């Protein structure tokens, strides 16, 4: 059984280094926030599984075979009538990007709580969820909340990323759904400062952390982009500086790589400090290449950076 399970939507990714209006060829890949997380964790050595629905279009075999090649458990992936969601991305100069999404009524949006097997989730160590899956449909939202309840009832830790996507939902609706799942969440990963302010209208890290801790979350891990990360619990807090050993080429999926690295540490019973180093190393190396998944680093590359990461006591 898998130590780390995630639930969500993985999209076909077609990328170009030219503006989308002028692009004639695209490079095919795939990406999705919760999948990116388990991909990074699996690369570091965590047994991982994905729960999703895949449409029976020509991309189904491509997705599932690639996941299995990564040794990710796909026994809980359902192939259903319909199509797989897709996004086009153009990586422009100076870090600018264009995105176009085609995901309305995708196969993954039909996820529902009947897709969950309690005995499968109960044998894991961490269940990772995201507000993006909550936003793609009401049945997917119910699936995410029910999964968190199953995990809590079986003493499985719940990890949650607040990943706000205003092309899918409003800040108000996202916060409403997030509040429904918070009673079951152990570790939360908000992005700071823009996302946290859009969701909570709070400006300080301490106030953001207090909001979640007051609702029962044990650990708040603020992803702060090029400012690193701040980890706050009821009893302590510290910050970790970011790194970018190979420069910054593409920040797509950097936060997901961080979460994957951090959860690797937690599953291996590392301290929050040690876990944050794996997160920072994973995300800092990922931004040095193109693609949310293609540029995720190897474990060997991550290990070479661990001792270079600087900690700031609060």
pLDDT in tens, 188-236: 999 999 999 999 999 999 999 999 999 999 999 999 999 999 999 999 9
Averaged confidence pLDDT in the chain = 95
pLDDT range class, residue 290, cuts 50, 70, 90: confident
Average pLDDT over residues 136-147: 98
Separation between Cα atoms, residue 178 and residue 173, nearest integer Å: 9
Average pLDDT over residues 1-24: 93
| pLDDT attached to residue 79 | 97
Average pLDDT over residues 1-23: 93
User: Which stretch of 125-129, 152-156, 184-188, 251-255 has the lowest confidence by average pLDDT?
Assistant: 251-255
Average pLDDT over residues 2-20: 94
Q: Which domain holds residue 221?
A: 4-8+33-83+104-313
Does residue 285 lie in a domain region?
A: yes
Q: Check if the beta carbon of residue 150 is closer than 8 Å to that of residue 76.
A: no
pLDDT range class, residue 291, cuts 50, 70, 90: confident
Separation between Cα atoms, residue 239 and residue 313, nearest integer Å: 6
Separation between Cα atoms, residue 282 and residue 44, nearest integer Å: 9
pLDDT range class, residue 314, cuts 50, 70, 90: low
Task: Pick the closest to residue 20 from 86, 110, 114, 78 (CA basis).
Answer: 86
Does residue 286 lie in a domain region?
A: yes
Does residue 231 lie in a domain region?
A: yes
Q: What is the CA radius of gyration of the chain?
A: 18
**Tens of pLDDT along 71-95?**
999 999 999 999 999 999 887 765 5
Residue keyed to tokens 């060997």: 300
Q: How many domains does the chain have?
A: 1
Does residue 134 lie in a domain region?
A: yes
Task: Pick the closest to residue 178 from 232, 216, 229 (CA basis).
Answer: 216
Separation between Cα atoms, residue 229 and residue 240, nearest integer Å: 5
Q: Check if the beta carbon of residue 193 is closer than 8 Å to that of residue 199.
A: no
Does residue 257 lie in a domain region?
A: yes
Whichever domain contains 299, its CATH number is: 3.40.1190.20
| pTM: predicted TM-score of the whole model, two decimal places | 0.96
Separation between Cα atoms, residue 144 and residue 129, nearest integer Å: 7
Separation between Cα atoms, residue 37 and residue 203, nearest integer Å: 27
| pLDDT attached to residue 134 | 98
User: Which stretch of 11-20, 153-162, 175-184 has the lowest confidence by average pLDDT?
Assistant: 11-20
Does residue 20 lie in a domain region?
A: no
Separation between Cα atoms, residue 309 and residue 158, nearest integer Å: 27
**Tens of pLDDT along 107-117?**
999 999 999 99
Does residue 270 lie in a domain region?
A: yes
Question: What residues does 230 pair with on adjacent strands?
Answer: 222, 239
Q: Check if the beta carbon of residue 305 is closer than 8 Å to that of residue 258.
A: no
Does residue 13 lie in a domain region?
A: no
Average pLDDT over residues 275-294: 95
């Amino acid at each position: 059984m898998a130590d780390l399970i995630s639930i969500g939507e993985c999209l076909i990714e077609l990328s170009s280094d030219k503006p989308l209006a002028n692009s004639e060829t695209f490079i095919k890949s795939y990406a999705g926030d919760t999948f990116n997380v388990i991909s990074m964790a699996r690369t570091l050595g965590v047994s991982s599984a994905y729960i999703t629905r895949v449409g029976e279009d020509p991309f189904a075999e491509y997705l599932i075979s690639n996941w299995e090649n990564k040794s990710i458990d796909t026994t809980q992936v359902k192939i259903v009538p319909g199509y797989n969601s897709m996004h086009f991305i153009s990586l422009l100069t100076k870090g600018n990007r264009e995105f176009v999404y085609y995901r309305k009524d995708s196969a993954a949006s039909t996820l529902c709580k009947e897709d969950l097997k309690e005995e499968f989730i109960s044998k894991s160590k961490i269940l990772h969820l995201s507000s993006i899956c909550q936003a793609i449909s009401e049945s997917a939202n119910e699936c995410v909340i029910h999964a968190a309840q199953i995990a809590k009832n079986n003493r499985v830790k719940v990890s949650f990323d607040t990943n706000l996507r205003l092309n899918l939902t409003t800040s108000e609706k996202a916060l409403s759904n997030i509040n429904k799942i918070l009673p079951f969440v152990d570790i939360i990963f908000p992005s700071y400062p823009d996302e946290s302010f859009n969701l909570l209208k709070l400006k300080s890290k301490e106030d953001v952390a207090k909001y979640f801790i007051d609702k029962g979350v044990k650990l708040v891990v603020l992803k702060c982009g090029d400012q690193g990360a701040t980890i706050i619990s009821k009893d302590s807090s510290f910050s970790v500086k970011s790194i970018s050993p190979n420069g910054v080429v593409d920040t797509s999926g950097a936060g997901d790589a961080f979460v994957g690295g951090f959860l690797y540490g937690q599953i291996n019973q590392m301290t929050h400090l040690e876990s944050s180093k794996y997160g920072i190393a994973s995300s800092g190396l990922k931004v040095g290449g193109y693609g949310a998944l293609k540029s995720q680093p190897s474990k060997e590359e991550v290990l070479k950076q661990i001792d270079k990461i600087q900690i700031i006591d609060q």
